[in-house]
Structure 1
Amino acid sequence: MYTRTSFKDRRLALAGFGAEGQSAADFLLRMGARLEISDSKPESEFPTEVVARIRELGAVFHFGQLGPFTGFDGIIRSPGISPHVPELVTAAKKGIPFTSATKIFFDLCPAPIVGVTGTKGKGTTASLIYQMLKGAGRDAYLCGNIGTPALDFLDRLNEGSIVVYELSSFQLLEMERSPHIAVVLMVTSEHLDFHKTAEEYVGAKANLVRFQGPGDYAIVNMDYPASRAMAAMTKAEVFAVSRKKRPANGTYVENGFVTLIQKGQSRQILPIDAVPLAGAHNLENVCAAAMTAALLGVPSAITAAAIQYFKALPHRLEFIRETAGVKYYDDSISTTPESAIAALRSFGVPKILILGGSSKGADWREFAAELTADHSLKAIIGIGQEWPKIKAALAATGREVQAIEGLQNMSAVVAAAAELAAPGNIVILSPACASFGMFRNYQDRGEQFSAAVRAL
């Protein structure tokens, strides 16, 4: 377990200099570490003032490469760097210990932590919980892929604070502590470009509950087998989330209401018609957030108000605009077949789907079967290196779906979608793939889509 003196005069390597890596570098240098930072990207891709400030604090940089990792007391792995890259595999064989900013934060944080994970919905759910806590006047902090890097606000925390931490499998992989409240959403397969196997991915997610104790809580979506299995891995008290059936303890959807039941007493939180977020999967996220808020003592009226006035996060089935009777939605965060399926199931009206991107090792057969069964799917605009594989999987089902392909930029893609769409239709960017190739990242992809839609 780390203390604030654990890093003084230690020779440490930081692998990756993204947002969390920059935060970790600042913290470790302030704690007296002798730090070397490496990133495979060139120096020109990072803010000049950030690099200059960290360099002034004493860090040594190695841009355009990972490593070399020789003679270090430890390596801090940033979330975007897979432990399976050759440089880190070699370092592990040398016996150099690995850690992460998340692991350091969990050891040093004086406040209870609410950890949220899942294949889809963790950012939305974490943000909902945070809004509920702020509405109740609590000293709450939001971090993860959204909000501020956790180590940036560590010094402001006390025992009365509450941290809501959105946690990806990248961050959970090496964890040996679990949060006080673990929220497990829909877990399917994801990031097979990062993890060796689906089992490793699910195993990393399970670290959210694996180290909990009897005084902790686990809120688990019971509608998905991989999530449900995690309920058996924790010593915490378990509360169920379900859209399909009433649990003994937990939150669920019944008779058109989000309903909470605890110790035999049930109460309605709000009607589902008052939930502004599109998609049945978002009802699951709302249920999980409402259960968390209840365990933290947030009054139901404040919970309901936070849900009613919540706006979809950027690139998460975000409504962009309606023009010529056609609605446009940005779901660029959708980088897996399962998350794209959830988006498609959110709408029963005729839809045009923008699909494809770079590979994450997905198996497209189940996804193709889902598309085949969706008779409201009017057309597909296929993009990126994965599109031929998706197209082949679709062809194997025997159903013909109108497809436009070969478009080289988002403006052309949106123009083609607008030409295909009729009043009452929707256009969804839900690519089911990573973004690299045509775009820098999923944010860039979503921003280009939104700009093109607003230009129509």
Structure 2
Amino acid sequence: MKFKYAGKKIAVVGLGIEGISSARYLAEHGAKISVRDQKELAELPQETVKELKRLGVEFETGKKYLENLSDFDFIVRAPGIRPDLPPLKNAVNRGSTLTSHTQIFFDLCQSNIIGVTGTKGKGTTSTLIKLMLEAAGKKAFLGGNIGEPPLDFLDETKPGNWVILELSSFQLIDLQTSPHIAVVLMVTSEHLDWHTSTNEYQQAKYNIVSHQTERDFAVINTDYRNSVVFAKETKAEKVWVSLTSEEDPGVFVKDDKIWRWFKGKYEEVINTNEVRLPGQHNLENACAAVAAASIVGVSAAVIRNTLKEFPGLEHRLELVREWKDKIFYNDSFSTTPETAIAALRSFTKPMSVILGGSSKNSDYTELGTEVVNNPHLVNAVLIGKTAGEIRKAIKQAGKPKAKLINGKGKFEEIVKLATQVTPKGGIVLLSPACASFDMFENYKQRGLEFKKIVNNF
């Protein structure tokens, strides 16, 4: 079968992780590639530039990177590039086809695809599903927003294999295909620094289910109103997930156990205290993974063993160490108020939390209420550009029992301060509720720096 992109002129807009993968894959399969990036050529990773040039890839960088896009048959946008940018829309109006790394993968992949989306828990749930499927003897691949671009492993996939993709709103916003199994976790509002509104964010997420058929499945968390509405957007069979109610078919928590109810069979999966992942929100993730694995046909015994063994992902409520009767957790992946709230509700010991960073135009009202009402919080160290906004939200929510501390100076000094004010037997939690760009390149660097500081105590 002839490769549909062979010989086609393709502009890859944005040389991030997915852009590099797209350019490489399409060039290796006979397409004529021009990489477009707003950075100057000298600012791009030079080893990558050399590799792509050896494949015949051309570059147009700097101020003119969006010019003459109508000269191309296809335009592959990076996740951070909005599809409604005027140069892209003009090119489409003149006959070019706008697509994305994710859409190309969906078009070409012959394996079964499980897509996972939500405001929090995507990476953890996606990883759990992969581990459960592999433990059941199935060939499974993991990619998408969690790290590895799926075109990097597309040629390894075969019919009958399973691909689990973590899908963000950036990847879903113009997706024209939905996965065979769609998993919808907690959905609130996020990335309002990129999306024009909460409604646009929600509409982008809908694409994970809106193109499904009656032969597909949608796993939906019924505990969140914004998640439940996805059920109206799909023709697929619904499988429900909840920590508070029983649904058939579904996976739910009852009497401190996770149960599944499929095809009339009511089955205990695991005691919640045996689940290695900390926090109630991770029980939601576990239930969603159980639902997806159950659809595929994985046994309760295999699922149980996976949940007992999986410790979680780096930078997601990651246990760093215990030192002088204090326990340190790295939750740097928390870049929204909702994720920080979930982290604060995960512990019952006295704790100090480090909150703040750069703005994503989030609403901190609920976070402020959590800081005021959380009975275990003794200190909130406020840092970064959003410290003032968070402090204001806390004060508006009431009088906090926790002490509000201005975290100033270098990050090492801030971590040491949080450690000093935490009582023995307590927890020091980095869960910023914000992006990191005012102090770090990304959440990973922030989390690694936190771990380095703590491990050097």
**TM category, shorter:** over 0.9
Determine the C-alpha separation between the residues in 2 that align with 1:357 and 1:237. Answer: 41
Determine the C-alpha separation between the residues in 1 that align with 2:57 and 2:303. Answer: 45
CA-CA distance at 1:204 after TM superposition: 1.1
Which amino acid is 1:232 matched to? K
Q: Who is 2:439 aligned against?
A: 438
Which amino acid is 1:263 matched to? K
**Partner of 1:210: helix, strand, or coil?**
coil
Q: Who is 1:225 aligned against?
A: 225
Structure 1 residues 85, 420: closer, same or farther in 2, change over 3 A? farther
Q: Which moved more, 1:176-185 or 1:391-400?
A: 391-400
2:60 to 35, 48, 62: 62
Determine the C-alpha separation between the residues in 1 that align with 2:423 and 2:153. Answer: 49
| TM value normalised by structure 1 | 0.95
CA-CA distance at 1:376 after TM superposition: 1.8
Q: Who is 2:248 aligned against?
A: 248
CA-CA distance at 1:63 after TM superposition: 3.8
Q: Who is 1:418 aligned against?
A: 419
2:34 to 15, 36, 61: 36
**Aligned-pair RMSD on alpha carbons?**
1.8
Q: Does the 8 Å CA contact 1:409/1:438 hold for their aligned counterparts? A: no
Runs of 4 or more, structure 1, over 6 Å off, are: none
**Partner of 1:385: helix, strand, or coil?**
coil
CA-CA distance at 1:80 after TM superposition: 2.4
Determine the C-alpha separation between the residues in 1 that align with 2:360 and 2:95. Answer: 30
Q: Who is 1:196 aligned against?
A: 196
Q: Does the 8 Å CA contact 1:109/1:154 hold for their aligned counterparts? A: yes
CA-CA distance at 1:7 after TM superposition: 2.0
Which amino acid is 2:405 matched to? I
Q: Does the 8 Å CA contact 1:77/1:100 hold for their aligned counterparts? A: yes
**Partner of 2:205: helix, strand, or coil?**
helix
CA deviations 1:20-46 (Å, max 9, x no partner) are 111100111123222221223454554
Structure 1 residues 45, 129: closer, same or farther in 2, change over 3 A? farther
Q: Who is 1:78 aligned against?
A: 78
Q: Who is 2:403 aligned against?
A: 402
Q: Which moved more, 1:378-387 or 1:278-287?
A: 378-387
CA-CA distance at 1:158 after TM superposition: 1.3
Structure 1: which 5+ runs fail to align?
Answer: none
Q: Does the 8 Å CA contact 1:352/1:427 hold for their aligned counterparts? A: yes
**Partner of 2:208: helix, strand, or coil?**
helix
| TM value normalised by structure 2 | 0.95
Give the count of matched residue pairs.
454
Q: Does the 8 Å CA contact 1:13/1:69 hold for their aligned counterparts? A: no
CA deviations 1:22-75 (Å, max 9, x no partner) are 110011112322222122345455443222110111112234454234333232
CA deviations 1:205-242 (Å, max 9, x no partner) are 11111111111111111100111110121111101000
Structure 1 residues 82, 384: closer, same or farther in 2, change over 3 A? farther
Q: Does the 8 Å CA contact 1:4/1:31 hold for their aligned counterparts? A: no
Matched residues, percent identical?
Answer: 44
Q: Does the 8 Å CA contact 1:4/1:108 hold for their aligned counterparts? A: no
Q: Does the 8 Å CA contact 2:102/2:150 hold for their aligned counterparts? A: yes
Residue 123 (structure 2) pairs with residue 132 (structure 1): no
Determine the C-alpha separation between the residues in 1 that align with 2:77 and 2:125. Answer: 26
Structure 1 residues 11, 266: closer, same or farther in 2, change over 3 A? same
Structure 1 residues 455, 294: closer, same or farther in 2, change over 3 A? same
1:46-445 pair list within 5 angstroms: 46-65=44-63, 66-70=65-69, 71-83=71-83, 88=88, 91=91, 96-400=96-400, 401-445=402-446
Q: Does the 8 Å CA contact 1:130/1:164 hold for their aligned counterparts? A: yes
Structure 2: which 5+ runs fail to align?
Answer: none
Q: Does the 8 Å CA contact 2:278/2:346 hold for their aligned counterparts? A: yes
Q: Does the 8 Å CA contact 1:355/1:382 hold for their aligned counterparts? A: yes
